Chains A and B, each alone.
Chain A
Amino acid sequence: MTTQVESLDSFRTRARAWLAEAEPPRVPLDLDGRFEVLRQWQKSLFEAGWIGIAWSKEAGGQGLSHMHQLVFVEELVRARAPQPIGLIGLDVVGPSIDLYGSDWQRTELLPRLLSGDDIWCQGFSEPSAGSDLASLRTRAVVDGDDFVVSGQKVWTSWAHMAQWCALLVRTDTSVRKQAGISYLLVDMSSPGITTSPIEQMTGDREFCEVFFDEVRVPRQNLLGSLNEGWSIAMHTLGTERAGATLRRRVECEVALDDAVAQLRQHGANGPEADRRARAAIGRAHVALRVLDAQTRQTTARLIADAGPTPVDSVDKLLLNEIEQVVFSEIAGLLGPLRAVPGSRPHGLQSERWTHEHLYSRAASIYGGTSQIQRNIIAERLLGLPRG
C-alpha cells in the first residue's frame, strides 16, 4: 500500500501558520525558569503534532521524513521560537532506542521522552575522554541482575534536571578500547548519582559534572548488546550531526537578519561607522551564503539517506568557522561598548551579541573539535597517510 506523504511545501505552510498562532514563550534567564518554560513548550509542540516528526508512527512520531523535520526546525528558528528542551533525547537518544532498543525500552521510555515528561541527558564525555571519547573510564560491572556503575561524566547538559541519562560505560577492559563499551539507560533518581553544574563563560550553567558512585542499573536497561555501545553511539551521533549543522545554519541566518534589522532601525552613524558596519555585515553575509551552498549538499545526502560520511566533517569545519566569523563581525560593531551590557551601540543589543559571540567560540570545540575534523578530512577525503 502506498500512502501519500504531505508535501514539504504544504507542511511548511501548515507549520508557519501554527507557529504564527502559537505565541512562542519568552524564555526567562534563570535556569529553573528556563527549564520549566522550555519543557512546557515541548509539551505544546508535542500535543500539536510537531515532535518526533521523522520518527515512525509505531514509536509515537509523525512518520514523516528527515526533511520534514528540518523544515520544521527552520520555521521554528525563523519564528524566533525556542527549541524544545529535550533535544538530546529527540535527536540522539530516542532514535538510538528506537533502532536498538528492546520492546520494553521502546514502550516504556519513548512516549515520555517525546512528550517532555522525561528529559534525557547524555553521559558520554569524561574529564579524560573528550576528543578521545573511546578511552572513557566510567565502569559498569555485572552483579546479579544489575550493572554497578562508578565514574564521572562531564559537559552533560541539563543533568541536574534530567530524569534519564544515556550513559556510555566500560564493560570490558581486556579488549580494544572501542570494543569494551556498553550503552546504559540510567534513571537519574537512582541512589549514588550526584550532579554539579559548571558555569560557562557565557554565564549559562546548563552543563554539569555527573558523579556515579556504585549506582545500580537493572540489566534490562542495557541498550543493544553488551559491548556494542560504541557503534550505537557513533551511528546516532553521525546521523545527528548533519541535522545539527543545518539547524545551526538557520540560527546564524536569523541572527544576522536581526542584527541587520537593528542597524537599519538605528540609521546612519557617520561615514566611518557606516563603512565598518557595511564591511562587517558584508563579510557575515558572504560567509553564510557559503554555508548555505555547502549545506545544500548535506540536504541532498539526507534525502538520499546516505548515512554519515567524512564530508560531514567539511560541513562541520565550515560551520565552525562561519559561525565564528558571523558573530565576531556583529559583536565587533559593539566596539568598546561591548563591555557595557545595557548599551545599544549603533542600535545593536550589546548583551545579546556579546553572549552569541562568546557562545560561538564553543562551536569549534563541541561535537568534535575543528582539529579532529581536519584529521578526518586529511586522512579520509584527501588520502594523506596516517601519522
Chain B
Amino acid sequence: MADSDQNSAQFSAAVDEYLTRAYNGDRRRKLLESGGWEPGFAADLADLGWYALAVPESHGGLGAPLSELGPVFMQFGRHLVVGPLLEDTLLPAMLQRPDDWNSAPAVAASVETGVPLALVDPGVTTDWADDLGSVTLSEQQLTGTVNAVRFARQASLLVVVAEADTGSAVCLVDPTDPGVRIEDLDSADPTTEFARVVLSGVRADGVSPVGPADNELVARIRSWARLLIACELSGVAQRSLEHTVEYLTQREQFDRPIGSFQAIKHIAADMHARSAGLNNLCLASLATADRASVAELDMLAATAKAHAAEAAVRVCEDAIQLHGGMGFTTESEVSWYYKHALALRGWYGDETELRQRIGAALLTSDSTADSDNSARDVVPNEPERQK
C-alpha cells in the first residue's frame, strides 16, 4: 500500500512537472482557443506513457490500480488539460482486464499512439435521457443516436454502451463502418470536442456476451468516470483558488491589497474549505474504490461526483467574483476553468441527479443503510502499536 501510494505520488508529480514545463502559456491558450484537440499533443502524452498507467502489464501497461489515475486527474484539472483523457486512460484499462474482455487492436493502438477512443454512452445522464438519445442492440445490430459524444470525430474506435433485452452491452464499433454517421457539433467546453453519433443497423462484431457480467462492466465504467471527473474537478477548484489568492495579494484598491478586506477574505476562506473538502473526499473515495463491490463503487463515485459538481462550480464562481471585471474576460485563467467545470458538472450526473440516485439507494435498496459502520469508523484499523 505504501509502495503504491509512493508510485502514485511520483507519477502525478511527473505529470505536474511535465505539464508545468510543456503545457503552459501560449501552447495551452492556443489549444483552448482551437477546440481542445491537437493530434501532436495527444501523441506526446502517449509517448510519455500516460495512457498506459492503469493498463495491465500483460497488455504492455504499467499495471497500476485504477485509483492511481485519481491524483493524475487532479493534475489534469489543475492544468486544464485538453483532450479525451478520460476515454484514453480509463477505457483501455477497463477493456483489457484479462478476465473481462478480448482486447481489440485499436485499443492497444490508442494507448501507444494517442488516437482517441470515444465512449458512446447514453447513460451520461438520466434526467436528460430523452435529449441525449439511446442505442439498442438487437440481433447483433446496433441502432440509435447519441447527441453528444466526446471526441467521436477523432476516434479510432467507438466503445458503445447499448441496451439489449437482457441488460446492458458494451460493443466495439469501427467509426468507418458504413452504418456509422458522425456529425460535428459546436462545443462550449474549451477542452473538449463533441459530435453526434448515429448508428443505423451497425453489425457489432466486437459485442461482448450480454448478461450480468456486462451490466457490471457498464456500471464500473460509469462509476470510474464519475470518480475521475470528480478528481479533475477537484484540481480545477484547487487551481482556481490558487490563482485567486495570488490575485488578492497583488490587486490593490483603496491603497491596500484587496485580500486584506474581510468581505473578500471570507469568500476566499470558503473557497479553501470547499476545495479542501472536495480534495479529501476524492482521496478517501480513491482509497477504497479498487476493492469496492459494484454497488459500493456506484455509491462512493456518485457521492464524490455529486459533491464535485456543486463544490467546484461554486469555487469557480467565487474565483470569477474575486477577480472582478477581469474574471469575466477571456484574458483571465479563471474564466476558462469555470467553463470546463460547467461542462464536467453534468457529465455523468450533476448534484441534483446524483442526490436522487444516492437517496434512492439509501431509502429503497434491499441492504440496510446502516448495516456496516466499520467503513465509517473515525479511527481506521491499524496494527498494534507499542507504547
Residues of A within 8 A of B (CB): 2-5, 7-9, 12, 67, 70-71, 74, 78, 246, 249-250, 253, 257, 260-261, 263-264, 274-275, 277-283, 285-287, 289-297, 299, 314, 317-318, 321, 371, 373-375, 377-379, 381-387
Contact = CB atoms under 8 A, between A and B. Distances in A.
Interface in B334-375: 351-352, 354-360, 362-364, 369-370, 373
A261 B369 contact: yes
28 contacts: A3-B387, A5-B386, A8-B382, A74-B377, A257-B369, A278-B356, A278-B363, A279-B356, A281-B363, A282-B354, A282-B355, A282-B356, A285-B362, A286-B307, A290-B307, A292-B284, A292-B376, A293-B277, A293-B284, A294-B276, A297-B280, A317-B269, A318-B273, A374-B270, A377-B268, A379-B265, A381-B272, A387-B262
B381 interface: yes
Interface in B273-331: 273, 276-278, 280-281, 283-285, 300, 303-304, 306-307
Contacts of A278: 355-356, 358-360, 363
A253 B300 CA distance: 16
Interface residues on B, range: 35 or more
A387 to B, nearest CB: 5
Contact of A279 (B261, B264, B352): B352
- In this complex, which of A4, A290, A291 has the most chain B Cβ atoms within 10 angstroms of its Cβ? A290
Interface of B: 245, 248-249, 256-257, 259-262, 264-266, 268-270, 272-273, 276-278, 280-281, 283-285, 300, 303-304, 306-307, 351-352, 354-360, 362-364, 369-370, 373, 376-387
Contact of B381 (A8, A296, A386): A8
A18 to B, nearest CB: 17
Nearest to A292: B376
A374 B273 CA distance: 9
Contacts of B358: 278, 281-282, 285-286
Contacts of B280: 290, 293-294, 296-297
A253 B363 CA distance: 15
B357 A264 contact: no
A70 B378 CA distance: 8
A151 to B, nearest CB: 30
Given A9-B381, A386-B260, A289 B307 contact: yes
Contacts of A275: 356
Contacts of B245: 382-384
A250 B378 contact: yes
A265 B360 CA distance: 14
Contacts of A318: 273, 277
A67 B382 CA distance: 11
A281 to B, nearest CB: 4
